[in-house]
Amino acid sequence: MFLTTSAHKTLEHPLSRIKSPASRRYLGRRLGTKWLISIAFWVLLGVFFASKTYVYNLIIDQPIDWWRAVGFTMPKAIIWGIMTPLVLWFASLYKIDSHNWWRNGLIHLTTAVLLAPFLVILSFLISLLLKWIGGNLPDNPSFVIASLNPQVFATSFDNILTYIILVGAYHVYEYYQRYRNRVLQSTKLEAQLAKLRLDLLKAQLNPHFLFNTLNAISIVKDHDLEAADEMITDLSELLRFIMDNIHRQEVTLREEVDFLKRYISIQNKRFDNKLDVQIDIDPSTWNAMVPSLLLQPIVENSIKHGMTDSKQKGKIDIECRLVENQLCFEVRDNGTGLKPNHMSRTNGSGIGVRNTHERLRNLYGDQYSFELKNGKTGGAVARLTIPYRWENPD
């Protein structure tokens, strides 16, 4: 069966989608479960209103038989218990969207109008059955037939309204599911984009680090081959760490500090062991998760802009403390501090610092802080705060 639009476009009837026997059996099982739930719900609703009618008549001193009260409410409850899954299924076949609201809306309205009188007659027959079970069936058949006429018109509107409410409820649920799926899809896409940005930032940082390290080795090899050989060994360990964690955005603080120590060892050989680095880590934070290569760019910044401008022995202090569920890092050097032409270090124009800002922003949003300024007694101080998270045991 096909429906043809005014533009002579042939649309496949929705029922033709169910082709295979397996699909029909699956649909049958689903409808069977929905029917049981629907009938149970409507029967309970019918019992509730029958009880309400029965108690109300007792209160006003006009008691009625229980089966008569059931006869008022239960027929419609049974009918709609059976019809509800069918109406919802029919609504799923003819969904009302912006491009077909008039056609499918007219289909549902026509169906409601044609279905309503039939349901009234069926409800009336069930009512007679219940009266017969309760021994309240009238002896005069003409009275029974005559009582049907006003019910057809009086109850048809209720059935039309019930049908419209069910179709409306289905579409409210459908639109909510669409909205929820769009939100989940958007969230998933944002997470994928964030991961992509982090991967790109990490990919940018690795060559930068490698280039600077190789440059340090090339400087040392001209006057100290043994030191250069040790630097290459340290570099191989650093590269192994990077490759082992290439797909990890976060590592434990212990792993990060081990990596940093090897990097410092390379730099110390470059400066003829004139670099004094003290690392003070709160023991309770060793298993905390931190971004991979978090501290290396900051220490590199201290060496580059602090040590090269100072003739004295370079000193860098690195501290980590746990304060109110926040990891607080501080890196201090005894260099010449931030000069006007190096103020770009504050806003992160250098690759390492700028990269650190971007990675932290993507990982933690507004839940981090990163500050780089002159120390009170000279040199520069970098302060970094990130949320404290334990290593995932999985």
> Could you tell me which residues are beta bridge partners of residue 322?
327
Instruction: Using alpha carbons, list the distances in angstroms from residue 194 to 27, 256, 330, 347, 358.
Output: 40, 22, 27, 22, 11
Q: What are phi and psi of 393, to 5 degrees?
A: -65, -20
Residue keyed to tokens 């400087």: 219
d(CA 373, CA 386): 18
* CATH fold label, 224-387: Heat Shock Protein 90 (3.30.565)
**What pTM, to 2 d.p., does this model score?**
0.50
pLDDT under 70 in the chain at which residues? 1-28, 30-31, 67, 71, 126-128, 130-155, 189-209, 305-311, 339-352, 391-394
Which pLDDT score is estimated for 21?
62
- For residue 237, the tally of other CB atoms under 10 A from its CB is 14
- Exposure pattern of 341-371 as b/e (b: 16+ CB <10 Å)? ebeebeebebbbbbbbbbbbbbbeeeebebe
Q: What integer pLDDT is reported at residue 350 of this predicted model?
A: 61
> For position 196, what pLDDT does the model report?
52
What is the spatial distance between Cα 184 and Cα 47, in angstroms, rounded to a whole number?
Answer: 41
pLDDT of the residue at 340: 60
d(CA 122, CA 235): 86
pLDDT in tens, 2-29: 333 333 334 444 444 555 566 556 666 7
pLDDT in tens, 78-113: 888 888 888 888 888 888 887 778 888 888 888 888
CA nearest to 305, candidates 270, 340, 354, 342 = 342
Give pLDDT, residue 40: 85
Domain boundaries, the chain: 12-188, 224-387
CA distance 335 to 311: 9
Listing DSSP states for 77-137 in one string gives HHHHHHHHHHHHHHHHHS---TTTHHHHHHHHHHHHHHHHHHHHHHHHHHHHHHHHHTT--
Please say whether the beta carbons of 282 and 321 come within 8 A.
Answer: yes
Residue 151's pLDDT is 55
What pLDDT does 146 receive?
46
Edge-to-edge strand ranges of the sheet holding 326-333 = 275-281, 314-323, 326-333, 380-387, 369-374
- pLDDT of 13 reads 44
